[in-house]
């Protein structure tokens, strides 16, 4: 089959989506990634053919400028800028996707849950599509706190009321920031409409979600979409620096990571631990002053998956990809969420018992060290991490995701999750 892929041009979405595409390609399908020029390096590194949308359009320049700005903000400002980026990306896709559809004659496309412009365009042309949740799967429910808010899971009347009020505010704000009226695309189309698309796929394992009141019947939790081969082999890492002491790996991701004060606090908090610490800047705009202790190694980029094989603990921004990679490798997490769905990811980690959370605005040396000492001395965090790694190891998430996509496109019928049907009945 001829299959197209479309997602936002950011590493956190590109990495799992291109890994999924590479698996479909290995199964004999003709796969093409559609994206702006920012997506080209990651896509080509994965070995997938790439169709660039409007490379010389000023919208591409504006997207790049705003993505750089996103690395310097957090909280509500981060969400506002993310909405603006959605609008710009949607304009670019709508302007140039028809040319790609006509040239490639796709049998189906896989669109990101937060890039519904591809779904809208596919519907108008009668092309079947699947929805991929590369970020935290967002399906509104009275028990679910909105992902941008660092709230605990609560089932009482207060929790439900709080979630409902916040949901309406978040929906209104995101639509406003995304300029829905000017762009002509509902940014929440694939969040509110569970029956849009033949199948919805989430790279979360089923256990990495709170209990719900209702379960979307087309949604399937497959588990994480990553392979060890996805690690950038071009990264030159000094492996001989590791001397056998327990390893802490620290990263604030590759996008919203221009938080130099957080990196400094991490360095100071671990300076006298009997451990080695690898701190990755993620290619971000990070400026560090002051001494660097002998047990800390700072790198521009890191071979993350290979380091997780050796890590004793991870300090993370709680991006979904890093969280799932830690789960698969059995590594406890100290989460410092910045914005967008990171607070929701971090709170799920804490809920499961294999990590702790410090909102990024509350990070300081004293609190970091307190949480590090707690996690390093309490074996329950590692026990939980081992339990979840064993659960993920039972399955082949990428193969399962590909099978569901193939079933949807071959039959052109919705793929129903019978477990969710039964859960709704009971």
- Owner of token pair 């099978």: 403
* Cα separation, 251 vs 326, whole angstroms: 12
Cβ partners under 8 Å of residue 104, min gap 6? 2, 4, 32, 51
Residue ranges, the chain, pLDDT below 50: 257
* Cα separation, 39 vs 41, whole angstroms: 6
Q: How many residues are listed for the chain in this entry? A: 426
Check whether residue 23 and residue 149 sit in a common domain: yes
Q: What is the domain count for the chain?
A: 2
DSSP state of 229: G
- Owner of token pair 């990651």: 42
Check whether residue 195 and residue 161 sit in a common domain: yes
Q: What is the pLDDT of residue 170?
A: 78
Q: What is the pLDDT of residue 235?
A: 81
Segment 215-234, tens digit of pLDDT: 999 999 999 998 766 555 66
* Cα separation, 252 vs 304, whole angstroms: 12
Residue 107, domain member (yes or no): yes
Check whether residue 197 and residue 260 sit in a common domain: no
Check whether residue 255 and residue 388 sit in a common domain: yes
Whether the Cβ atoms of residue 3 and residue 31 lie closer than 8 Å to each other:
yes
pTM value? 0.90
* Cα separation, 340 vs 146, whole angstroms: 10
Domain containing residue 255: 235-392
Q: What is the pLDDT of residue 17?
A: 96
Check whether residue 169 and residue 192 sit in a common domain: yes
CATH number for the domain that contains residue 92: 3.40.50.2000
Residue 100, domain member (yes or no): yes
- Owner of token pair 């660039």: 52
Q: What is the pLDDT of residue 228?
A: 67
Q: What is the pLDDT of residue 54?
A: 86
């Amino acid at each position: 089959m001829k299959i197209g892929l479309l997602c936002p041009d950011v590493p956190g979405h590109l990495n799992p989506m291109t890994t999924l595409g590479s698996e479909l390609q290995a199964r004999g399908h003709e796969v093409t990634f559609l994206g702006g020029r920012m997506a080209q390096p990651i896509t080509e590194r994965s070995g997938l053919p790439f169709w660039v949308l409007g490379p010389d359009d000023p919208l591409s320049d504006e997207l790049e400028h705003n993505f750089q700005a996103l690395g310097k903000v957090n909280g509500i400002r981060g969400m506002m800028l993310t909405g603006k980026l959605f609008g710009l990306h949607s304009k670019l896709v709508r302007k140039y996707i028809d040319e790609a559809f006509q040239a490639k004659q796709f049998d189906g496309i896989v669109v990101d849950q937060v890039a519904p412009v591809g779904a809208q365009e596919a519907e108008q042309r009668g092309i079947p599509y699947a929805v991929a949740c590369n970020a935290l799967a967002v399906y509104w429910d009275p028990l679910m706190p909105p992902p941008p808010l660092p709230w605990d899971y609560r089932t009482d009347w207060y929790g439900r009321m709080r979630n409902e009020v916040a949901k309406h505010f978040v929906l209104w704000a995101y639509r406003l920031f995304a300029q829905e009226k000017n762009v002509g695309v509902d940014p929440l189309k694939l969040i509110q409409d569970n029956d849009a698309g033949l199948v919805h796929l989430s790279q979360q394992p089923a256990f990495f979600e709170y209990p719900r009141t209702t379960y979307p019947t087309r949604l399937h939790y497959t588990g994480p979409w990553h392979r060890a081969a996805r690690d950038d082999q071009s990264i030159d890492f000094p492996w001989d620096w590791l001397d056998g002491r327990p390893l802490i790996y620290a990263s604030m991701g590759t996008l919203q990571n221009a938080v130099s004060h957080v990196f400094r606090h991490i360095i100071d908090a671990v300076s006298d631990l009997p451990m080695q610490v690898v701190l990755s800047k993620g290619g971000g705009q990070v400026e560090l002053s002051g001494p660097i202790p002998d047990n800390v190694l700072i790198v521009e980029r890191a071979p993350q998956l290979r380091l997780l094989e050796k890590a004793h603990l991870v300090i993370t921004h709680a991006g979904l990809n890093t969280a799932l990679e830690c789960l698969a490798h059995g590594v406890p997490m100290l989460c410092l969420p910045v914005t967008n769905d990171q607070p929701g990811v971090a709170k799920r980690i804490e809920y499961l018992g294999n990590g702790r959370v410090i909102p990024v605005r509350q990070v300081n040396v004293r609190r970091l060290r307190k949480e590090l000492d707690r996690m390093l001395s309490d074996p329950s965090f590692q026990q939980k991490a081992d339990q979840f790694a064993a659960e993920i190891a039972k399955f082949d998430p990428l193969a399962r995701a590909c099978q569901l996509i193939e079933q949807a496109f071959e039959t052109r019928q919705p793929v129903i999750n019978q477990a969710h049907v039964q859960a709704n009945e009971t």
